[in-house]
Amino acid sequence: MAKLPKGGLSRFVAWVNGEEVVDDLKHGHHKEKKTKAKYLPHLTMEQRLLGYRILGVLICSIFVLILLATVSKLPTFGSPNNPASNEVVERYIESGIEETGAINLVAGMILDYRAFDTFGESNVLFLAVISVVMLLKRDRNNFDEDDEKILNEDIDLDDEDDNIILKRFTMIIFPLITLYGVYVILNGHLSPGGGFSGGAIIGAGLILFDTAFGQSAVRKFFNFKRFTYISVGCLLTYCACKSYSFFTGANHLENIIPKGIPGNILSGGLILPLNICVGLIVACTMYGFYALFTRGEI
């Protein structure tokens, strides 16, 4: 760290690592820099702030007015002839079942016709959780004794409290929430729902379990290692499935995986495994966000 030049990058690196930037700078040079504003130097700070606010409101109003004028020229709401429902939509609806095997046409669209887009979404979620881990995970670089003390006090207070209503209720409702999440994921190609919504439901269940029984209870079946394995494994499975499909099926070649009878659970070719992958990633991500934001570790 010391070898880096004293510029923006090294400060940023130090900041990311949680080192004290402020104290380090106190020993720097004390050359006074002119702080006179470039534009309208005779205004005070308050006047500048007021001007900023007035300008902000003005710009926003003009912006909204322009957008409203645009809306008034858009095609009529709810009309069947508007240009959004073109031949693409016709193809998706009329040959969607035959080509993807899913009776939920949205699931068929996002996990078959546009599966690459959904892969990108899963990657975005994974990247977000990786960035949050980077920024908030408490390790030797990001460590604060006061925070640690407050956190331990919180945990002790939670242990002292019985929380009998919360615990009993969670014992009843946590299996139901998980079951419902699994149902939503597995029925993604048959009914409303899919990997994203089902994963969010399972993640919410995990968060409830965490609030009731504490992180040590969750750690017994879901720790950081498993979190990493599940997320990366699901992303790689998705990637492998979809590359396979691109190599064999997307080019109107015969796909080995059968489509099945539309309406059955085991139908829709790759849609079901892809939904499971996405659901697991989303559940891990949701719980990961919660755990990282509350305690800085999974």
Least CB distance to other proteins at residue 10 (A): 12
Task: Name the token pair of 177.
Answer: 């929430």
- Looking only at residues 58 through 97 of this chain, which bind other proteins when binding is defined by CB under 8 A? 59-61, 63-64, 67-68, 71-74, 76-80, 84-85, 88-90, 92-94, 96-97
- Looking only at residues 90 through 109 of this chain, which bind other proteins when binding is defined by CB under 8 A? 90, 92-94, 96-97, 103-106, 109
Least CB distance to other proteins at residue 278 (A): 10
Q: Between 130 and 173, name the residue whose CB sits nearer to other proteins.
A: 130
Looking at this protein, which amino acid is placed at residue 164? I
Q: Between 31 and 225, name the residue whose CB sits nearer to other proteins.
A: 31
Handedness of CA 258, 259, 260, 266 (dihedral sign): positive
Q: Does residue 2 touch other proteins according to CB under 8 A?
A: no
Least CB distance to other proteins at residue 191 (A): 7
177 phi/psi in degrees, rounded to 5: -65, -45
Q: Which residues of 152-175 are buried (b: 16+ CB within 10 A; e: fewer)?
A: eeeeeeeeeeebeeeeeebeeebe
- Binding mask 221-260 toward other proteins (x if CB under 8 A, else -) reads ----------------------------------------
> What residue spans of 187-219 are helical by DSSP H?
195-213, 215-219
Query: What SS3 class is residue 262?
Result: strand
Q: Does residue 135 touch other proteins according to CB under 8 A?
A: yes
| C-alpha dist (Å) from residue 145 to 111, 134, 142, 218, 260 | 47, 19, 10, 25, 58
Q: Does residue 125 touch other proteins according to CB under 8 A?
A: yes
Least CB distance to other proteins at residue 106 (A): 5
The CA distance from 90 to 250, in Å, is 19
Tell me if 242 sits within 8 A of 122, measured CB to CB.
no
The CA distance from 136 to 140, in Å, is 12
Find all residues with CB under 8 Å of 129, minimum gap 6, and list them. Answer: 231, 284, 285, 288, 289, 292
Q: Does residue 56 touch other proteins according to CB under 8 A?
A: yes
- Looking only at residues 11 through 40 of this chain, which bind other proteins when binding is defined by CB under 8 A? 15-16, 18, 21-22, 25-26, 28-33, 35
Q: Does residue 184 touch other proteins according to CB under 8 A?
A: no
Q: Does residue 114 touch other proteins according to CB under 8 A?
A: yes
Least CB distance to other proteins at residue 68 (A): 6
- Of the candidates 9, 37, 43, 49, which one interacts with other proteins according to CB under 8 A? 49
Q: Which long-range contacts (CB under 8 A, 24 or more apart) does 63-71 make?
A: none
Q: Does residue 261 touch other proteins according to CB under 8 A?
A: no
Q: Between 134 and 240, name the residue whose CB sits nearer to other proteins.
A: 134
